[in-house]
């Protein structure tokens, strides 16, 4: 009987540890992938409607932090400088 009680106690401890780990991972994920506010979605929807000339249905919005746009901008600048150097 005492073995069963010990086993249950160990399982409870492991479950508590797993719950703490899951909560920490959920907090980490929330910091890395914040939700897009309703104001931002409204602004995107208005911009799409102005561009298309009709109302558009926004299905998904993902918040990105500069990575792709910044690297493409740097690549364009490097290429323009390379073109200038090659024309001498």
pLDDT value of position 64 = 67
Q: Select the more confidently predicted residue: 62 or 27.
A: 27
Cα 72 to Cα 49, 80, 83, 84: the distances in Å are 26, 12, 16, 19
State the Cα angle at 12 between 7 and 15, rounded to 5°. 125
Name the most confidently modeled range: 56-60, 67-71, 83-87: 56-60
Domain residue ranges of the chain, discontinuous segments joined by +: 1-33
pLDDT in tens, 12-56: 999 999 999 999 998 888 777 677 788 888 898 899 899 989 987
- For 22, the token pair is 């899951």
Q: What percent of the chain is helix, strand and coil (3-state, nearest 5)?
A: 75, 0, 25
């Amino acid at each position: 009987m005492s073995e069963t009680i010990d086993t249950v106690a160990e399982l409870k401890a492991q479950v508590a540890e797993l719950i703490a780990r899951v909560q920490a991972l959920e907090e980490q994920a929330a910091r890395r992938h914040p939700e897009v506010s309703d104001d931002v979605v409204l602004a995107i929807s208005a911009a799409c409607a102005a561009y298309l000339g009709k109302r558009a249905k926004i299905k998904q919005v993902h918040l990105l932090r500069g990575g792709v746009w910044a690297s493409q901008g740097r690549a364009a600048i490097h290429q323009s400088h390379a073109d200038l150097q090659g024309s001498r």
